[in-house]
């Protein structure tokens, strides 16, 4: 298996632009997670899905952030409009089940908002 795939790996954009980050989870995994990593706040869970349904979005910072999972093999995290404070590394992870199941992380997308 190729593991969790994220694209793009790097994104540089200007303030006010829309940004879309993409994730393909490992086939057969029922859970998908979006995390954000910054120097100030460390690694934070933004939202997670179970069987394509958003379960907990309490970590989404504000309405400018939205996430979708239209099918079992694809998810997007969108920021509109983007701001410089959104600059971070965004990770996608997937797991087979809940509970003690390991989460497998993608390589991350490094976002820079100028």
Tell me the C-alpha to C-alpha distance, in Å, between residue 47 and each of 2, 43, 76: 23, 12, 11
How far is residue 95's CA from residue 93's CA, in Å, rounded to a whole number?
Answer: 7
If binding is defined by CB under 8 A, does position 4 make contact with another protein? Answer: yes
If binding is defined by CB under 8 A, does position 99 make contact with another protein? Answer: yes
Closest CA to 7 of 99, 102, 81, 110: 110
Tokens read off for 82:
């983007």
Q: How many residues bind another protein (CB under 8 A)?
A: 23
- Of 50, 73, 76, 112, the one binding another protein (CB under 8 A) is 50
If binding is defined by CB under 8 A, does position 74 make contact with another protein? Answer: no
Q: Which CB, 65 or 90, lies closer to another protein?
A: 90
8 A C-beta contact, residue 95 and residue 29: yes
Q: How far is the CB of 9 from another protein (least distance, A)?
A: 9
Secondary structure element (H or E) that encloses residue 31, with its range: strand 31-38
67 conformational bin, left if phi > 0, alpha if psi -120 to 50, beta if neither = beta
- Of 11, 25, 31, 113, the one binding another protein (CB under 8 A) is 31
Q: Which CB, 14 or 102, lies closer to another protein?
A: 102
Q: Which CB, 18 or 56, lies closer to another protein?
A: 56
Binding site for another protein (CB under 8 A): 4, 31, 33, 42-45, 48, 50, 55-56, 91, 93, 98-100, 102-108
């Amino acid at each position: 298996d190729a593991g969790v795939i994220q694209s793009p790996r790097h994104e540089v954009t200007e303030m006010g632009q829309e940004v879309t980050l993409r994730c393909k989870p490992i086939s057969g995994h029922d859970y998908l997670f979006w995390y954000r990593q910054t120097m100030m706040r460390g690694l934070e869970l933004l939202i997670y899905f179970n069987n394509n349904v958003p379960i907990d979005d309490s970590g989404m910072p504000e309405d400018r952030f939205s996430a979708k999972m239209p099918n079992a093999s694809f998810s997007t995290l969108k920021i509109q409009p983007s701001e410089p404070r959104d600059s971070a590394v965004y990770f996608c992870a997937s797991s087979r089940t809940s509970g003690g199941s390991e989460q497998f992380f993608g390589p991350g997308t490094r976002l820079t908002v100028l």
